[in-house]
Amino acid sequence: MTKKDFLIALIITVICFTVRLYKIDNPIADQHSFRQADTAAVARNFIKEGFNPLFPQSDSFTALSETQLPNPHRYFINEFPFYNSLVALVYRLKGIDPVYARLVSIFFASLGTFFLYLIGKKLFSTKVAALAALFYAVLPFNIYYGRVIMPDPTFISLSIISFYLLLRFVDKPNFIRGILFSLAFALALLVKPYAIFLFIPFIYWVIANHGFSTFKKPMFYIAPVIAMTPLLLWRYHASLYPEGIFYSSWLLNKYDIRFTGAFFRWLIFDRMNRLIFATGGFVLFFFGLVHSMLSKKGWLMVFWLLSVLTYFTVFAAGNVQHDYYQLPIMPVGALLVSLGFFAIIDNGKNIFQKLSLGILASTLIVISLAFGWYEVRGFFNVNDWNMVEAGKRVDEITPQDALVIAPYQTNPAFLYQTNRHGWTMGYDIEKKIAEGATYYVSTSYDDEARGLEKKYTLVEKNDKYIIIKLTETKK
């Protein structure tokens, strides 16, 4: 890497880091707080209950498995808690604060931006790399999900790093480069197993560069074995504790959504066009896709995109349900947008045409950023301050070992705010009391809350929340 390339990449990386500081002090009550709360709880419990990445624990006793197995240890054994462990390390040094968890995500998002520039530079040119990295850094959808308390920013970054190391490994398939690629890809797979779809562009690139000699080079066999082994070991370990595995079979094809009109409408029109690339970027995305079919390096982008679309198809219901499931399209999408931008300009046959086309392409970028911010700006808002305030009040007035029922439509964000263990839904209150529940808190004064208020001791009640002590009945 030249000093010029390093400086360009560094400047864009700083921009990436800076814009993600927006509302970094938000409590865990913004968009997709349910996923953020579980992730943050695992990191916090590593500090409160001892660090053991083999047995990550959430705050909730609520059953996770498809068969509703009891989960008395609160196990949350899904992806390997690499991100949570790093957050816990920072917590150990600086104290427990969600701001630090967001900073870890921002760090990885910024690191991914740096390596995305390196990919663009290696495959195409400085200008393509710079625009791709900059677009990736400032696209509103990517800004929000680059500072959430979730493993996804870390996964995307590790995927980008793996991709770059694969390019270097293919250039010179020696032991050192093979090991570096394998370790990075192993981490990506541990953080999110659907990184396995990246084998599609990886295999294409290896064969495109080495042909049949690929099968004569041992490192092309050894590297994927090294990368896959930790994931297989982790999945075996997780299978021993089914009560801690989140019910996830619905992610595949719930309601038979795959290949229906709703499937295409949600993923193409609503998510990719409206929310992620926000119209202007989506136009450039398609120009870039067409342009990519003209070269071997461009076809690598096509196969990378194919891997993402395959993932969309396999996990059809999950992708329709959750917008953050589409994050894997961001790196290749940014590269395709950049390729499309310069493909439009390069069609000009003279300076006037190039200038006109440049204005047109730039306008599409501006539209993408403006429309994208319009769609995403609400993601940063705290959705329920009453829930946050009620949780803090429970933390202030209840014993540290209190077990709390904090019903919030199974969303663990409310329970997380209490800094206690407990349950994320009401119902069967007497059963939960028998299991150790000592307090009930709610921001809804509904029939359940009124019934408990009549039977048990009222601790605090106002127009925002109600707190009830379940270990003392009224006489």
User: What residue type is assigned to position 176 of the chain?
Assistant: I
pLDDT tens sequence across 30-66: 999 999 999 999 999 999 999 999 999 999 998 898 8
Q: Which two tokens stand for residue 39?
A: 């992730």
Task: Report residue 445 CA to chain centroid gap.
Answer: 34
**Surface-to-core class of residue 362, CB atoms within 10 Å of its CB (0-12 exposed, 13-18 middle, 19+ buried):** middle
Calculate helix-pair angle for 98-123, 3-19, nearest 10 degrees: 150
Residue 475's pLDDT band, with cuts at 50, 70 and 90, is: low
Mean pLDDT of the chain: 96
Question: Which pLDDT value is given to residue 142?
Answer: 98
**Beta carbons of 435 and 61 less than 8 angstroms apart:** yes
Average pLDDT of 70-88?
A: 96
Residue 472's pLDDT band, with cuts at 50, 70 and 90, is: confident
Residue 246's pLDDT band, with cuts at 50, 70 and 90, is: confident
Is the per-residue pLDDT at 474 higher than 80? no
Average pLDDT of 440-465?
A: 96
Maximum Cα–Cα distance for the chain, whole Å? 90
Question: Which pLDDT value is given to residue 214?
Answer: 85
pLDDT tens sequence across 175-228: 999 999 999 999 999 999 999 999 999 999 999 999 988 888 999 999 999 999
Is the per-residue pLDDT at 336 higher than 70? yes
Is the per-residue pLDDT at 114 higher than 90? yes
DSSP 91-157: HHHH-S-HHHHHHHHHHHHHHHHHHHHHHHHHHT-HHHHHHHHHHHHH-HHHHHTTSSSSSHHHHHH
Average pLDDT of 124-138?
A: 98
Alpha helices, DSSP H, located in 377-460: 385-397, 413-418, 429-434, 447-455
Q: Which two tokens stand for residue 238?
A: 């997780």
Residue 391's pLDDT band, with cuts at 50, 70 and 90, is: very high
